Structures are given as C-alpha cells and as structure tokens.
Amino acid sequence: MISRKQHDRMANAIRFLSMDAVEKANSGHPGLPMGAADVATVLFSRYLKFDPKAPLWADRDRFVLSAGHGSMLIYSLLHLTGYEDMTMEDLKLFRQLGSKTAGHPEYGHASGIETTTGPLGQGIANAVGMAIAERKLAEEFGSELQNHYTYVLCGDGCLMEGISHEAIALAGHLKLNKLVLFWDDNNITIDGAVSLSDSTDQIARFQAVHWNTIRVDGHNPEEIAAAIEAAQKSDRPTFIAAKTVIGFGAPNKAGTHKVHGSPLGAEEIAATRRALDWEAEAFTVPADILEAWRAAGKRSVGARREWEGRLDATETAKKSEFTRRFAGELPENLDAAVDAYKKKIADAPPTVATRKASEDALEVINGTLPETLGGSADLTPSNNTKTSQMKSITPTDFSGRYMHWGIREHGMAAAMNGIALHGGLIPYSGGFMIFTDYCRPSIRLAALMGIRVIHVLTHDSIGVGEDGPTHEPIEHMAALRAIPNLLMFRPADAVETAECWQLALKERHRPSGLALTRQNLAPSRLKYEAENLCAKGAYELVAADNAKVSIFASGSEVELAVKAAADLNGKGIAARVVSVPCFELFAEQPEAYRKAVIGNAPVKIAAEAAVRQGWDYFIGSDGDFIGMHSFGASGPAKDLFKHFGITAEAIVAAAEKKLA
Ligand SMILES: Cc1ncc(C[n+]2csc(CCOP(=O)(O)OP(=O)(O)O)c2C)c(N)n1
C-alpha cells in the first residue's frame, strides 16, 4: 500500500526530474509531466504490468505517451522504475544530439518506449492498434499467453486532431475493452486556454462512440486508482478524463500556458521546491523514493515468471509459433511458396491488373503466413486485399484476419503501426493510392520507426480513369519515394507483384508500399526465373547490344516500354528496357551494378504515369520523360493515356527525335 505522502513524493520525483532536465537542456515541456505525474504514478506504481528487466515481454501492458512533447514523463518513469538503459546521465542529456532522451520519445532509443510520438493524436491510434493486436493474439494463442491492457495518455491536442476520432470510433465499435485512455484535461494548449479553439464535450463525444467514460480529479490518487479498476472491468474501452493543473506545483506558472513548453527558470524551480517541500538537489532522487519506485518496477516480476512458465508449458508447436511471431521471423516455407507460385504463372503469364496480381500473390502468402492481418479502408473489392483465408474481424469475433477499417485511412495507418509495434502480426492495408495524402504522417512514422507495415495502394495512376483527377495519383510516387526508409514498389506484372510482396514481407525494419494498377497489364516477365529480380530495384528486362536507346519504366508503363523497344529495334534502332520496380532498392546496389543497369546509351527515356521528379537519377537532366505534367482527368483510361501522351508511340517518337 502506498501512502498518500509516499505517492506525492513519488510523483514529485517525476516533476523534479522533468523540470531539471528541461532546465538543463534549456528546452522542452515541463508542464505535462508535472500535471500528469499523479496519473502516471498511480498507473506505474500500482497497475501497469511491466518488468524493466524484460522490456520485450510479449504480455506486458503497453503504455503509450500520445502527448509526446511530455517526453520527460516517460523518461523519468523509465529511469525511476529501473530500466537499465535509462540512466540519470541519459536524463541529463535530454534533447542532446545522439542521446536516448530525444525531444519526443523515439521508438528504439530506449526500452520501454513503445512507439514514437510527437505528432499529436498518433499515439492514441497506435494504442488502438496495440489493443487490436492483443485481442487478436489472445483469440489465437489463448489468454494464458496474451492478456494485457494498453494504456495511453493524451492531451487536449491529441483529442483535437482528427486522427483521434478515427481511432476512438473504431475502438468503440470493436469494443476494445482492454484499452484505457487517460486525458490530461488541463485546459491549456500552446496558445493559451483550450476555450480559444475548442468547446467539445469530450465525455459526450466518447460516449457517442460507445466508450466507458469516467471523470476523476487527476491529482487524487484514489480516484485515479478506482477509475483504472473500473476500466479494467469494463466491456468497452475506457476514457478517463483526469482534471489536472498543467505544471502542477509551480507556484507562479502552474495552470498557464507558460509551463507548456518552456523551462521554468531557476527562480520558479526554487519556488516549486519550497512549495512541494522537496529538498533534493537537481537530478537527485531521495533514496527512499528511488527505492519505492524500484519496488514498483519489480511488482510484475512474479507475473512475468508465471507467464514464462505458461509459455514453457505450452505445447511445442504453439510455443515455437508464438515465439517465432514475436521475434518477427518469417516461416521458412515462404520462399518456396512464392517460388512455386512464380513457376505456376510462368506457364501461362496472365494479363491482369497488378491489384489482382496482388490478390493472387496474397492468396499464397496468407496461406503460408498466419501472422498477416489484412484490411482495407472500405475499398475491399477494389483493393483485392481479402483472400480466401481472411475472415472478417467483428466486434464479437476476433478469430478472423481481416479488418474493415472503415473510411479511416489515417486511423488505419496509425493503428497498423501499433499492430506492428505490438508484435506477433504483420499488418497490411488496402486503400487508394491517392489517399496516402490522408495517412502520410503515419506512413512517415512507420519509416522513422523502422517497422514492417505494408500498404497496398491500388489505382496508382490516371489508369483509374473515370473517377478523374481527384482520384488519380500524380505526385504520389515521388512524394512517397521522398520518405526515407520507405520502400515504394511499383510492379509491372504478376511476377513482379509476387516478387515485390516477397521483398516487402522480408523487410523486418522498413515499411513498404505497393503501387498497383486498376487496369489490366500484359505480362512483361514471360519465363520463370528463380531469382527475385525486383530485389535489385531495377534490372534489364530487354537487352540490346550497343543500345542507342535505354527506356526505364515502372508498373503499367513497362508494357509500353517493351512495345516501344520492339518498334525501335524493328526500325534498326537498338533499344533496351529496364524495369524499375523500386528506386530505393536500386540505390542500395553496388555502383558497378547501377552503372551497368543505367548503361550508356546516348538516349535515355523514362516512362511513368506520374511526375518526373526522381527519374533524373536514371535519365539525367537531359533525358526524356514520358509521364504526367499536370493533374489527370476523368475519362476511360485508354483515352487518358493517349490524351496525356503516355504511349509506346510517344516513347518511340521521343527516341527518334533525340537521335535525329
Ligand atoms: C500534429 C501536431 N500538431 C502540432 C503540434 C505542436 N504541438 C505540440 S504540443 C501542442 C499543444 C498541445 O496541447 P496539449 O495537448 O493540451 O498539451 P499540454 O499543453 O497540456 O502540454 C502543439 C500544438 C504537434 N506536436 N503535433
């Protein structure tokens, strides 16, 4: 039992470490850690199931600090509870280059940081994904192995961001009852009072999306504890609105936006010391308080050992499957399955849209990998993401493997990040490529974190046709290629689609996107090759001795390039074709390979039904580009390709003009 006095002192340890670190860095956000310290103390000292000595324990409770600017809250907690890789030295290096204690919590910097947060609202949606993963894995492996809560702390900012609504509506719909969201209800944002810009009745809002809601005084430990206990028993996700004072304890600045994002200053810190009766010097935690915190960090050792015992006692096949999946390793038979599929289609190369080719590849993949969790943002029949193995997940039945995300691209992409971070599952989405604009922040965070999520992005060009320019990606390939650590694949036919899927799945630490067509494409790979040719990012598809023309193309334009090369060769102009399914993988190849693939034909032409940006890498600034120079238009796809001059004839004409 933790006395009120002890609780207060434990919470004050968070407050002072946060104040001290922000002061030393001369930058950061002391207000949130000071205001939310009581909530965090109750959660971490009495309820959160975690073991700092086993930070990756698969059944630990997850804690997400959605209000990432309050990063000193989590850094303090990790240090106090005994995570070995969060030392006092690390706290002193807050916000310094190369430190673990970055301005906002970054996944991978230190154990206990479950996700990267900072862009407000993302953490809530990540947590929804984690709760989905828990429920799914509990269904699959049983509650002996998966049975944990997901807690998330957010501020006013997170709740104002639209992504929060996508996420909470889905969580309410799915009845994710092991999800608990604390709202640091302090009425302050950067500009001042929340009332400057918002007057939402948050309780009513959460009730409207079927959450259990509880209001507490966020500085009253027993009220907070009672709310957590009620949340744990709820049949719905729980929203705990904790009324707090930002910068609690600072006599002159508490309750104002002055403590949100600036150091308190030596004088105010001294005044806070007096107000909270805190004798210890900066970056020092009184021994008895550190001991109490360390004891809190040991609370779940027994639970963890019992869990390990249950895992050990689990039947061998199930145990190794569970372990494999949490290690993020793929089953050994994936390559053989993809290879057999490649052989099969080589016998009669199909003319298909790559979205359909993706479905066919997924049929093989999903039959081999039980860990894939597919889904679509309400475009299942268009994205072709639901294969025969994929029964729908419903609020009452999580035995399926397919999420109907609803029309919520942003929430979907962020929740997928949460699923991947949770472990045990590989999420893939379905959506129209154009709407990566609606979820780009989450795709970027997946890339920043280095996690395996795969986005199926269909309707990848003016090939969309009749839906017109609002639905036709133009700049999206370039914009997505601009995100570091994201692999963007644009396969040209069924074989390349299977190869790109295989590559995406094997990327343990990178997200991928597959840009896929709506329209049918003629096969470009006509014979079986064991090697995954897409693995090098670009490869010579049609060779020519002493080529005068090199044509580089991706996806739907490979077919045009092959036809143009045949025409040119027929006219006695030696032309070769390079298929470019993935810029990023190509850039990683040795220089000799890149030079050989780019070649030295005097005429270089690139074809992609999108903007030129990026293609100069292949064709140089004096190369010719056959692609889009404006937004698209509404009409039959064939007419559009003609209208915008993206045809084999245009490639031939460009080559001839250059050679003339
Ligand atoms: C998407 C996004 N927009 C803007 C910001 C910049 N920002 C950081 S904190 C903040 C205000 C948040 O207010 P609140 O959540 O109430 O936090 P508190 O003031 O209580 O610390 C803003 C606008 C951000 N981090 N993310």
Per-residue model confidence as pLDDT tens digits over 177-233: 999 999 999 999 999 999 999 999 999 999 999 999 999 999 999 999 999 999 999
The percent of residues above 70 in pLDDT, for the chain, comes to 100
Mutation to probe ligand 1, out of 39, 190, 257, 258 (largest number of atoms < 8 A from CB):
190
What is the mean predicted confidence (pLDDT) over 517-540? 97
Per-residue model confidence as pLDDT tens digits over 8-19: 999 999 999 999
pTM as predicted: 0.98
Per-residue model confidence as pLDDT tens digits over 536-557: 999 999 999 999 999 999 999 9
Q: What distance in angstroms lies between residue 396's CA and the mean position of ligand 1's atoms?
A: 35
Which pLDDT belongs to residue 315?
Answer: 98
Mean pLDDT of the chain: 98
Q: Which residues on adjacent β-strands are paired with residue 577?
A: 542, 551
Which pLDDT belongs to residue 544?
Answer: 97
Which pLDDT belongs to residue 10?
Answer: 98
Check if 409 is active-site. yes
Ligand 1 atom 21 nearest Cα: 32
Q: What distance in angstroms lies between residue 29's CA and the mean position of ligand 1's atoms?
A: 10
For 197, other C-beta atoms within 10 Å of its C-beta total 11
Which pLDDT belongs to residue 1?
Answer: 85
Provide the pLDDT confidence category of residue 580 given band limits of 50, 70 and 90. very high
Residue 300 has pLDDT above 90, yes or no: yes
Residue 273 has pLDDT above 90, yes or no: yes
Per-residue model confidence as pLDDT tens digits over 67-103: 999 999 999 999 999 999 999 999 999 999 999 999 9
What is the mean predicted confidence (pLDDT) over 100-109? 98
Please name the residues in contact with 584: beta carbons below 8 A apart, sequence gap of 6 or more: 481, 486, 487, 488, 537
> Which of ligand 1's atoms lies nearest the C-alpha of 184?
20
Q: What distance in angstroms lies between residue 154's CA and the mean position of ligand 1's atoms?
A: 10
Q: What distance in angstroms lies between residue 260's CA and the mean position of ligand 1's atoms?
A: 9
**Ligand 1 site: residues with CB under 6 angstroms?**
29, 31-32, 67, 69-70, 118-120, 155-158, 161, 184, 186, 188-190, 246, 260
Q: Please give the span between the terminal C-alpha atoms of the chain, in angstroms, as a whole number.
A: 88
Per-residue model confidence as pLDDT tens digits over 126-158: 999 999 999 999 999 999 999 999 999 999 999
HEC sequence for 339-407:
HHHHHHHHHCCCCEEHHHHHHHHHHHHHHHCCCEEEEECCCHHHHCCCCCCCCECECCECCCCEEECCC
Mutation to probe ligand 1, out of 189, 202, 258, 444 (largest number of atoms < 8 A from CB):
189
Per-residue model confidence as pLDDT tens digits over 323-380: 999 999 999 999 999 999 999 999 999 999 999 999 999 999 999 999 999 999 999 9
Which pLDDT belongs to residue 299?
Answer: 98
Rg of the chain over Cα atoms, rounded to whole angstroms, equals 27
> Which of ligand 1's atoms lies nearest the C-alpha of 31?
21
What is the mean predicted confidence (pLDDT) over 612-616? 98
> ∠ CA(18), CA(243), CA(130), 5° rounding?
70
Residue with tokens 């060769």: 569
Which pLDDT belongs to residue 520?
Answer: 98
Give SS3 for 183. strand
Which pLDDT belongs to residue 600?
Answer: 96
Catalytic annotation, pick one of 409, 472, 496, 499: 409
What is the mean predicted confidence (pLDDT) over 2-27? 97
